[in-house]
Amino acid sequence: MQDAREWLRSARSVAALTGAGISAESGVPTFRGAGGLWKHYRPDQLATPEAFAQDPVLVWEWYLWRRGLIAKAEPNPGHYALASFERRVPAFVVVTQNVDGLHERAGNRNIVKLHGDIWKSQCLNCGGEYADDRTEVDALPPLCDCGGMLRPAVVWFGEGLDDGVWNAAERAVRAADAVLVIGTSAVVYPAALLVPLAKESGAKVIEINPDETPASGLADASLRGPSGQILPELLS
Ligand code: BV8
Ligand code: ZN
């Protein structure tokens, strides 16, 4: 912990790569932990274009259920620690795999959302993207004003990430003197590539996760514990 604090103190620019684990203490289920299941479906069975094409109502029910959970959730001390850190370190970027919006709610502004935003919907017909905070919809699937079908504005498995978003994430990690890898199982690509990229760019990599992950071998420090407890101590 002391080394990590020292690296952060002397860092000119810092990036934080976050995954579902940072929201676990807010009561938002992770993808691969317990509680991530809904009606016996695994996320990777529902978060795909194929699942949506086959049964858009089922996929929407899952997203509305998640929105309902997230709407009741609050950012936790880990989110707030990152928000106060952004106010202290000018060059600080949060690169998140999460779609829950808890980083904004905690106060972070400089955020790269690798996998989109559950609080936005996109029209399959006209491509329009709208803020959408509905947790219930009478007639599913919801329709756009143009009559086209709406989908959640998130990146599903098998879908490419937006080029601009990926470039921003790469730039943030390449420029960072220290990269925090928080609450991610580091199995989803291309997001997981940002850790070796950080290493190659000479950044100090600090992993915060109760468990070992495929990224642990690349970490200069692995802080084993819940981010809601570790981040406030690490970043204070
Ligand atoms: C693409 C949005 C190609 C939707 C998500 C085989 C090998 C390698 C890759 C692949 C493969 N087969 C398929 C692929 C590609 C695939 C992939 O990586 N699959 C994995 C599963 C093998 N990737 C894709 O499909 C990507 N697209 O490759 O497209 C392409 C390219 C060009 C053009 C066209 C096509 C798209 C991936 C994006 C998928 N969308 N989310 C939604 O949310 O509904 S991914 C989803 O999983 C979430 O975003 C989530 O963040 C992400 C990863 O999960 P984690 O965040 O890491 O969370 P997880 O539950 O896994 O782990 C939680 C961690 O927290 C654990 O480590 C736990 O220990 C820790 N933790 C728990 N409690 C705490 C904690 N940590 C701290 N504190 C705590 N309290
Ligand atoms: Zn439309």
Residue 180 structural domain? 1-28+75-115+162-236
Overall average pLDDT of the 11-15 stretch: 97
Band the pLDDT of 31: cuts 50, 70, 90: confident
Clarify whether residues 142 and 215 are in a common domain. no
Q: What is the pLDDT of residues 78-112, one digit of tens each?
A: 999 999 999 999 899 999 999 999 999 999 999 99
Q: How far apart are CA 214 and CA 66, in angstroms?
A: 27
H or E segment at 20? none
**Which is the closest atom of ligand 1 to the Cα of 116?**
2
Residue 143, domain CATH: 3.30.1600.10
Q: How far apart are CA 187 and CA 190, in angstroms?
A: 9
Residue 15, domain CATH: 3.40.50.1220
Q: Determine whether 40 is an active site residue.
A: no
Number of domains in the chain: 2
Q: What is the pLDDT of residues 144-177, one digit of tens each?
A: 999 999 999 999 999 999 999 999 999 999 999 9
Ligand 1 binding pocket, CB closer than 6 Å: 19-21, 24-25, 30-33, 44, 47, 97-99, 115, 154-160, 183-185, 187-189, 208-211, 213, 226-228
Domain boundary among 154, 171, 206: 154
Q: How far apart are CA 223 and CA 212, in angstroms?
A: 10
**Which is the closest atom of ligand 1 to the Cα of 152?**
44
Is the pTM for the entire model greater than 0.85? yes
Clarify whether residues 45 and 79 are in a common domain. no
Q: How far apart are CA 87 and CA 4, in angstroms?
A: 19
